Structure 1
Amino acid sequence: MKYFKLVLSIALFAFTMQLSAQTNKATTIRIIEEKEYTFVANSAIPMSNMDVSQILSRMPGSQGGGVINLTGSQYDFKITKDSVVAYLPYYGRSFSAPMNPNEGGIKFTSKDFSYNEKKNKKGNYTIQINTKDLNRENFRLTLSVTPNGYATLIASGYNKQPITFNGYLSESKRKDQ
């Protein structure tokens, strides 16, 4: 029964994602090549284990199968040529907690990072970003993007279990607008 719910929730998610695409193929290619885009998170899928699954099933927005609906939230991940800015929630097991509760989640600005981009034959992109800041937890972020702008972000840190976000790419708002 759990497998059926998971398959049904993934199918429903895929159907709704097709209705909410924010970019076309030309725009997706342009913003990735310019390294000026924002990943907007629609759902979060934490790494599954029994403790986390029991808690998540009781949370508002839970769609079953460990998928948490983030539609309508302001969670995003912005990439520019000189910085990456993350404002994402975190659901899962963390092996160390911040002293300030407002510092939870995956929230950082990094100007010291590596950026590696690959494009396959079908036009899908895989972008690997590794933050290298010395004064905080560093993250390995893998962004998989389809030509239509649908994207999956996998965030893994040294002190946290990996978490997956599904969403889409959009053009970053420019400061001069």
Structure 2
Amino acid sequence: MEEDIMKKNPLFELAVLLGLLFFYACGSAQTAVEKEKLATDVRNAVEIPDFTFKATYAYPTGYKSIYLSPYYDVKVSPDTVAAYLPYYGRAYRAPMNPSEGGYRFTSTDFEYHVDKGKKKDNWDVEITLRDVGRPVTFRFDIWENGTARLIVEDVDRQSISFQGDVVVKKKE
């Protein structure tokens, strides 16, 4: 008889479901040690520099946000910046070659500057690119949990920003 009550009672089912969700959430949370290691890895990667920004959303000026496929990124190393990002918005001067529509380049002549951010546990990174044919600046706001925002300033286009994650290389 009690088994029939448990099977038919929607509150019992809800309680079981909430219990399972609670235990799942507890098991997937990062420990304090993991968070500190990630913060240290991100800090080191930003200071060297040696990181990859994986863009997940684009925020064109004056338009709705756009979810991006997982292929868009900016790879930053001490001697190279390689960008593969889309562009949405108003261009003041269009490229002659249609395949040059987004930000697709590899730069070896750039200025890298990093500062402590305005808020605790983040960094402001500014990369001024000198060899892409026009003045372009990448401004990153990077948090110790690996999330980041990138604002691209270009004299030939409206600015655009991207939301994403910083990926650091695993040290073996």
Question: TM-score, length-normalised on structure 1?
Answer: 0.71
- Name the structure 1 match of 2:96: 99
| Structure of greater Rg | 2
Whole-Å separation in 1 of the counterparts to 2:56 and 2:162: 7
Contact kept? 2:148, 2:166, Cα under 8 Å: yes
Question: TM-score, length-normalised on structure 2?
Answer: 0.73
The runs of 4+ residues in structure 1 deviating greater than 6 Å are none
- Note the residue ranges of structure 1 that are not aligned, 5 or more in a row: 1-18, 54-65
- Name the structure 2 match of 1:130: 128
Residue 68, structure 1, aligned to residue 66, structure 2: yes
1:39 to 53, 64, 68: 53
Q: Give the RMSD, CA atoms, in angstroms.
A: 2.2
- Name the structure 2 match of 1:14: none
Whole-Å separation in 2 of the counterparts to 1:69 and 1:117: 28
Contact kept? 1:28, 1:147, Cα under 8 Å: yes
Deviation at 1:173, TM superposition (A): 8.3
Residue 25, structure 1, aligned to residue 39, structure 2: yes
Deviation at 1:34, TM superposition (A): 2.1
Q: Which has the higher helix share?
A: 2
**Percent identity for Structure 1 against Structure 2:** 38
Structure-2 change in CA distance of 1:162 and 1:173 (3 Å): farther
- Note the residue ranges of structure 2 that are not aligned, 5 or more in a row: 1-28, 30-36
- Name the structure 2 match of 1:148: 145
Deviations 1:15-61, CA, capped at 9 Å, x for gaps: xxxx9xxx82122112112211000000000000xxxx4xxxxxxxx
Alignment coverage as a number of residue pairs: 136
Contact kept? 2:92, 2:157, Cα under 8 Å: yes
Whole-Å separation in 2 of the counterparts to 1:42 and 1:107: 17
Deviation at 1:143, TM superposition (A): 0.2
Q: Aligned with 2:121: secondary structure?
A: coil
